Structure 1
């Protein structure tokens, strides 16, 4: 006990001896002002833009982002899915939804993916690399600039203004009406990679019309064919079989079905309802009812 008291006294004496003299102000080091390493998160509200029972025509627009939809809409679905139709700005990344359809959303779709997009006047969709990754900007943002400079044998300053993250669709200035396209020093490819399908004349049939583009007219489309089929009310599309290729259908119009028969087919309806029966052999059959923006895929050997 005596040793413990001596120790306590010594500690008290040392603390008093090291204390600053009375009346002498002590120096206090202040921390630097806080500064963000990235822009602060926005304070803009991200609430639901409309209620399911709202009497409006929803638009896929939130603040400065998005654009109006050109074409048919399934308004009841859009009213129910406000945060899918006009998502909060905090939504990001690959959480799959029913506007971006891949094998994750439609497991039978192993040969084609689909995306519903709209570009405003002057907007640019980034050039794509078709591989495991998606966007050129995403790739270059993760390559050191000195590597880019060495790869392209140019000065590193040439990459001072590349985006720091992926860009998918971004605004730009619309080109002038008389602006000529750039001329490649290597000349033009032997066959064009664009095709004015809207100018193809439709063939009138008993129950509607059909327009077709395939490798005989669109030379570079070696694995993809397109048929725009107009089915009049009460008419049907002919019974048919898929012996080697799949068919993917996107519903836009009850009176119009757009079909892409490749690899895959897309059909579209914009109002009303339609129905389709799939026969999958060995006594397997199922009938579906469709409304606007519905989608289906028929695999090879399905009817």
Structure 2
């Protein structure tokens, strides 16, 4: 009997070794990987597949199976909740995610530009964006737009010029974390300054905007009769015979000197302040990070764009909330994020974001932003087509609503848990970014 048992055990082991594996090698390297049929998670916890170098698979709580056909493994690691959505996701929802890496890039002399508009991301109806790079001395030529332009400097330094409607001029040099805002129709220019130039994010208050449709100085002059140009400037037509025959758009210019030496003789200082130092603001401290809000209350010229700069600590959560006055257009500067959008009527969908990614949350839709990483910070912008930043906090709402009413809604059959909940929301203090909270669940830890 003993010999028969040994032989049976050996045959079973041999069969197991010979059987083809149905798991990615990357998955097998991680004991805590949720991407297997035996893993059970009743709480839909996050998992940072990109940071952990684990290949996601469409398996959750005993359902699903592996993948046999062609696949984009890098994309899957960047968007794990697309491949393995939380059980709470349901229904249909428009795509709310786009990466600038998928945007067409226009390459020019000493610079480039790429955009995310309603054409790339149909849900981006209120705002459009342009990511632009200018080397040292490279100029984004004198121009204006139908739309207002809001900008955030991502790297390097840049000089801007602008003219207001009363003939006042404005010149300023900006660095990382600084903003500018040009109202609709106000002419302006941009030029890279530092040895590596500059890179910035431009926001326009219309999702249908196109960077290729701006009003350019050279383009206008080229399409105006030379006799009119000459008469306008009171000079012989011959003076203009060497005007550019096509738009310059982005081009290498001469290096600028100090602002005081650059000002023309007719310079009249504008009464408007077109720039703002966002990162120099004193932040609002939260338990899990920092928030800086810039809108018309502290940047008065910015009448159509409001923004928040978020520093979300490792594992921390931008609390559950919604915005009543505008769609949220978000942009990840560094780190990785998970966002679930609740759209009512039983619809919810989860998206994952990497640096350079854009996210949309339509107004009034509930959502959160979670730092996927437990050891790296998440830095991002929330931007709105609005004059003020407004949000509603779910935590604050629950805390300031009569306790009886809240418990009747949520804990009618579980008064013990209701008492714990009531205690937790007692102070009703909004905590915009909540520090990482580890769920105490021994059965879950034993499973891992």
Secondary structure of 1:239's aligned partner: strand
User: How many pairs does the alignment contain?
Assistant: 200
Equivalent of 1:121, from 113, 136, 140? Answer: 136
2:8 paired residue number: none
1:299 paired residue number: 362
1:276 has 2:357 as partner: no
CA distance in 2, matches of 1:287, 1:223: 29
CA distance in 2, matches of 1:146, 1:88: 31
CA distance in 2, matches of 1:300, 1:283: 17
Residue segments in structure 1 that go unaligned for 5+ positions in a row: 1-76, 255-272
Q: What does 1:1-303 correspond to in 2, within 5 Å?
A: 99-131=114-146, 133-136=213-216, 137-177=218-258, 179-183=260-264, 185=266, 187-254=268-335, 273-303=336-366
Q: 1:88 to 1:142 in 2, by over 3 A?
A: closer
Question: Contact between 2:108 and 2:250, CA under 8 Å: does it hold in 1?
Answer: no
Q: TM-score, normalised by structure 1?
A: 0.57
Q: 1:216 to 1:147 in 2, by over 3 A?
A: same
Question: Contact between 2:291 and 2:310, CA under 8 Å: does it hold in 1?
Answer: yes
CA distance in 2, matches of 1:239, 1:158: 63
Residue segments in structure 2 that go unaligned for 5+ positions in a row: 1-99, 147-208, 367-448
Q: Which has the higher helix share?
A: 2
Higher RCO (C-alpha under 8 Å, 6+ residues apart):
2
Q: TM-score, normalised by structure 2?
A: 0.40
Return the offset for 1:226. Answer: 2.0
CA distance in 2, matches of 1:140, 1:225: 35
Return the offset for 1:242. Answer: 2.2
Q: Which moved more, 1:113-122 or 1:183-192?
A: 183-192
CA distance in 1, matches of 2:133, 2:108: 18
Return the offset for 1:162. Answer: 2.7
Query: 1:89-137: per-residue Cα shift (whole Å, max 9, x none)?
Result: 9xx9xxxx9x311221112222322111111111111122213831412
Query: 1:244-301: per-residue Cα shift (whole Å, max 9, x none)?
Result: 21111122222xxxxxxxxxxxxxxxxxx32101111222211111222211112222
Q: Which has the higher strand share?
A: 2
1:67 paired residue number: none
Q: What is the aligned-residue RMSD (CA, Å)? A: 3.2
CA distance in 1, matches of 2:242, 2:282: 46
